[in-house]
Structure 1
């Protein structure tokens, strides 16, 4: 069964919709150096994480300049997991894990297979995304699913598939790649930074139908 993370939640109503849809994890974006409509400050990120119901994993999505900045952000927000954008080494990832006692999921682009292999033993999971030139995600661009499937077969770490996923294509993506989890941000929005609650529900349902037929979606 593929797990589902809905990322880029900016308010309590959207977080509740994610929980009610049956998602496994919710992502809150904070402390990123790129302009994002999904970013909230660390105080708001901490508030959102604290209101998540039991059994909904909270994920801080961040792009710190240094490992120490990552540690400070995690200590402020206290998420269950930190999703780490940026060029961090296996040793730096290990430092962040040890200092925060929090699971660390580094992000790699679809074309960074060699880097994914280097980070494999240091990470709790690896998230494969279509990133921009700065290394930030949330581009809404679909990646190379065949390349991702090869990494799923090769890596020890669980693989989270992101990049251009929507309610309409998530079942096919999950069938082809067989990831541990799928991750969506812009694919479930009614406007930048605001979730379409019906789309969130469809995404979660269709991800769960990866081995069967995806739900027909009519607008």
Structure 2
């Protein structure tokens, strides 16, 4: 399997300045976290709109949404204006076709939370309907759902199997940091990496951690 250096998405962006800093270091995607039941990095849709408007056209702007109704997601994306939707929970009303028809040109990324082998079946089921899959370490079955930002790695052997089986780009998230990212890339071989807390100190983007993270990623050619 041919391997190309993974793209990097810096998530939990909370200001125009953070977005600019992440892009300067080499991010090809920016993550804007809207209302979630738990987890870090949540910003208002108003602030997400302001940040998305400043992101260059060649950089992907991901709107992370926990909404499960396609109509609500459509309304939210039209307001924020991001060019990519990251759906962190399962759709319960409407479907991907509804999103496609209402939001032409908007990329759809479905999060799969890696807890056991059942997530492989889930990834294979949704892959034909989305542009990419993002593997994270959340848990939708808890009383308060964890839908991302856990700072915790999952079983990368399962993630590697998904990368091998699905015919769509796969992003790896969950507990990545400058110390473990090389091992993650070597084991999983993802299309992209998604990081939040691993490049932050006191909830602020840390230039030293950013630099260290990209040094490791850029060692892959």
Structure 1 length-normalised TM: 0.90
Shift of 1:65: 3.4
2:129 match: secondary structure: coil
Partner of 2:20: 16
Shift of 1:195: 1.1
The alignment status of 1:125 with 2:128, answered yes or no, reads: no
Partner of 1:63: 66
- Paired residue total: 209
5+ residue gaps, structure 2: none
**Cα shift readout 1:76-98 (whole Å, capped 9, x = no counterpart):** 11111110011127961221122
Partner of 1:153: 164
1:80 to 80, 83, 87: 83
The alignment status of 1:207 with 2:217, answered yes or no, reads: yes
CA distance in 2, matches of 1:175, 1:210: 9
1:1-219 to 2 correspondence within 5 Å? 1-32=5-36, 34-88=37-91, 92-101=95-104, 102-110=106-114, 111=116, 112-132=119-139, 133=142, 134-192=145-203, 194-210=204-220
5+ residue gaps, structure 1: 212-219
2:21 match: secondary structure: helix
CA distance in 2, matches of 1:8, 1:99: 26
Equivalent pair of 1:138/1:186 in contact (CA under 8 Å): yes
Q: CA RMSD in A?
A: 1.7
2:43 match: secondary structure: coil
Equivalent pair of 1:127/1:162 in contact (CA under 8 Å): yes
CA distance in 1, matches of 2:96, 2:76: 14
